[in-house]
Amino acid sequence: MTFRITKKFEFSASHQLAGLPAEHQCARLHGHNYVIELELAADDADLLPVGFVRDYGDLSAFKVWLDNHLDHRHLNDVMETNPTAEHMAAWIYRTWSVEFPELTSVSVSETPKTWAEYRP
């Protein structure tokens, strides 16, 4: 049996997507109130003795990183790739899967209607 836990985090940032037609709305400078969802998983045999996959509180380190690196930033200045939701999800996964080996997916929402998930 596998247990999965998730936690959501929010930040605000601007971006401008390259490679789109000039008339595309996302080719213009604009911003989003982003929501990031981290998913972590563990088999029942690997649960911590208390019964956690990992303490939700441990993920506060990720919130500190978001606040310091992405919140109220221009994402084109922070990321080396075009700052699409897909690229952000993969970048965050690769950055944080070392600190959190139980990390199984990262999802990025730019608007209440859209989510991009990276699940290697």
Cβ distance to ligand LPXRUNBV smaller for residue 24 or 72: 24
- Which of ligand LPXRUNBV, Zn ion, none interacts with 40 (beta carbon under 5 to 8 A by kind)? none
Identity of residue 13: A
81 lies in the site for ligand LPXRUNBV, by CB under 6 A: no
Dist. CA 118–CA 54, nearest whole Å: 20
In the complex, minimum distance from the CB of residue 55 to ligand LPXRUNBV, in angstroms, rounded to a whole number:
31
Helix ranges restricted to H, the chain = 60-69, 75-78, 85-96
**Which residues of the shown chain bind Zn ion in the complex (CB under 5 A)?**
26
